Amino acid sequence: MRRRWFIFLVLSIGALAAALSLYRFPGLDFLRPGRRGAPATTPATATSPASMGVGGRVCLPLPRLRGDMSLEEALRRRRSVRDYSSMPVSLEELSQLLWAAYGVTETNWSLKTTPSAGGTYPLDIYVVVKEGGVSLSSGGFLAPGSYRYDFRSHCLELVREGDLSDKLCEAALAQEWVRDAALNIVIFGVYERTTRRYGERGYRYVYMEAGHASQNIYLQATALGLGTVAVGAFYDDEVKRVVGAAEGEPLYIMPVGRPVSLYDLREGELRRYYEKNR
């Protein structure tokens, strides 16, 4: 009798292990909650524009989960930066910025760096890369153009080829920091994803979420010694056309570049400020 129980136990553990490995198997990802099918293109590592994968897919280096700057330091140093040098941003830095903006931080449900009402995740993130704006570790630069960030694979999908910074700058009421930046991260909101569940109230949730993603980009840029500014003044239809977004409305353009000067706040300065106002 005992022996039978033992065999039953061994078989049960075996079946459970098999089920768990199936659940984790990448090809069966659709079985996992919160996942929609990943694109079937072959991922390629970005070593040069020529090595771009099938359908213009560039997989980013994995993001670092530890950094050198504390949250307090990033908060006190964060400032809107509009003056950039002509130095490029590296692919590793771009990877870090996009992960901070809307990257995955929990792998069962694909939860992200930003909170989201009901986990509806209404944002689509695009990046418009300037000619010579993003350097590759192997030498050379990422091909200029507009790319969509696929958060599930942490890869970029080429949407439009060519240097679009002048056109994006015009669409943003000729704000020159959009043209001068090495790259522009453009945050789109696809309202239906959230209004489908929350009705009219969903609109405000989408705007709030864009704010979360924008602040993440600000803080990550600061921690990397880069500069950015949240640009909200632009012609929506023009931005949509330039970026080539499939759906949604543009909510923010975040130019990113190497700042000409870095901002910092001194402790004494803050103390004097508060004392004066007490």
Ligand X SMILES: Cc1cc2nc3c(=O)[nH]c(=O)nc-3n(C[C@H](O)[C@H](O)[C@H](O)COP(=O)(O)O)c2cc1C
If one asks whether residue 233 binds ligand X (CB under 6 A), the answer comes out as yes
Give the residue with the Cβ less far from ligand X, 76 or 79. Answer: 79
Q: Where are the alpha helices (DSSP H) in 25-125?
A: 71-77, 91-102
Give the residue with the Cβ less far from ligand X, 115 or 118. Answer: 115
| Distance (Å) of CA 119 to CA 23, 199, 203 | 21, 15, 14
Q: State the Cα–Cα distance between residues 239 and 216, nearest whole angstrom.
A: 22
Which of 231, 242, 243, 256 forms a contact with ligand X (CB under 6 A)? 231
Give the residue with the Cβ less far from ligand X, 142 or 231. Answer: 231
Report helix, strand or coil for 265: coil
Binding mask 73-92 for ligand X (x = CB under 6 A): ------xx-x----------
Q: State the Cα–Cα distance between residues 47 and 116, nearest whole angstrom.
A: 34
Q: How far is the CB of 212 from ligand X (least distance, A)?
A: 12
With contacts defined by CB under 6 A, name the span among 2-10, 42-50, 219-227, 228-236 that binds ligand X. Answer: 228-236
Q: How far apart are the first and last CA of the chain?
A: 80
Binding mask 97-116 for ligand X (x = CB under 6 A): --------------------
If one asks whether residue 208 binds ligand X (CB under 6 A), the answer comes out as no
| Distance (Å) of CA 1 to CA 6, 9, 12, 206 | 9, 13, 17, 61
With contacts defined by CB under 6 A, name the span among 48-56, 98-106, 200-208, 224-232 that binds ligand X. Answer: 224-232
Which of 116, 120, 175, 194 forms a contact with ligand X (CB under 6 A)? 175
Give the residue with the Cβ less far from ligand X, 35 or 77. Answer: 77
Q: How far is the CB of 188 from ligand X (least distance, A)?
A: 15
Which of 29, 230, 249, 265 forms a contact with ligand X (CB under 6 A)? 230
If one asks whether residue 220 binds ligand X (CB under 6 A), the answer comes out as no
Burial of 72: CB neighbours in 10 Å, binned 0-12, 13-18, 19+: exposed
Tokens of 82: 């509009």
| Distance (Å) of CA 88 to CA 141, 166, 222 | 9, 17, 16
Report helix, strand or coil for 228: strand
Which of 232, 241, 247, 273 forms a contact with ligand X (CB under 6 A)? 232
* Binding residues vs ligand X (CB under 6 A): 79-80, 82, 175, 229-233
